Chains A and B, each alone.
Chain A
Amino acid sequence: EVQLAESGGGLVRPGGSLRLSCTASAFTLSNAWMSWVRQAPGKGLEWVGRIKSKSDGGTIDYAAPLKGRFTIARDDSKNILYLQMNSLKTEDTAVYYCTMIHYEILTGYLVSWGQGTLVTVSS
């Protein structure tokens, strides 16, 4: 069974940085397209971005408001997905979910989800 375990969340000051990790189990990360989704407290789901597998070009796409501050990366040798978050704002406070995409002809849906890690941006 696919397992995704996020880590790295915590309390950070506005303007600070944080790197989240997502450790994948029971599948080979290098073959997978992956995505990050976040959810502010009491709010709905917000798509953060997506990274394709290297064999499909490794293209990375981001939600427009986050582009330039957030960076998705992958270390396929360690089976770990990352989300680097810089210049954090209070409105970035959220649970961040790592998800695996079921790929089907140029796109795919979010078939597996981790349990999430909470990021709190506060002074």
Chain B
Amino acid sequence: EIVLTQSPGTLSLSPGERATLSCRASQSISTSYIAWYQQKPGQAPRLLVYGASNRATGIPDRFSGSGSATDFILTISRLEPEDIAVYYCQQYGNSPPWTFGQGTKVEIK
């Protein structure tokens, strides 16, 4: 099973600042089968990024994904108050099980 480790656990930033969220895999993920999800309090998760770097439909361009092999990054270029949420990475390789990281909580300072 591929283990995903996200860091930091909590990120506290001011509006307009850049947020960098990390997701590290215990083994290389082929074809960058990594997705990122945003979960706001009391809501279901929402897909942000798939294939490591492709924004999902309707996602603002301040969100971007990058990385390959074992190291992946989600960047929020200019933090907005509505970006307060927990962010999860997930690997969806050809061979299950699929796994999630433990999440990074983004707070507004």
Interface residues of A, Cβ cutoff 8 Å to B: 35, 37, 44-47, 49-50, 61-64, 97, 102, 106-116
Contact = CB atoms under 8 A, between A and B. Distances in A.
A116 B33 contact: no
Query: A-side binding surface: helix, strand, loop or mixed?
Result: strand
5 contacts: A47-B96, A47-B97, A47-B98, A62-B97, A109-B47
Interface string B71-109: 000000000000000101010111011111111000000
B96 A44 contact: no
A26 to B, nearest CB: 15
Interface residues of B, number: 26
Query: B-side binding surface: helix, strand, loop or mixed?
Result: loop
Interface of B: 1, 33, 35, 37, 39, 44-47, 50-51, 56, 86, 88, 90, 92-94, 96-103
A116 B77 CA distance: 30
A113 B99 contact: no
B37 A110 contact: yes
Given A102-B50, A110-B37, A45 B90 contact: yes
Contact of B100 (A45, A64, A107): A45
Given A45-B90, A97-B45, A113-B45, A107 B50 contact: no
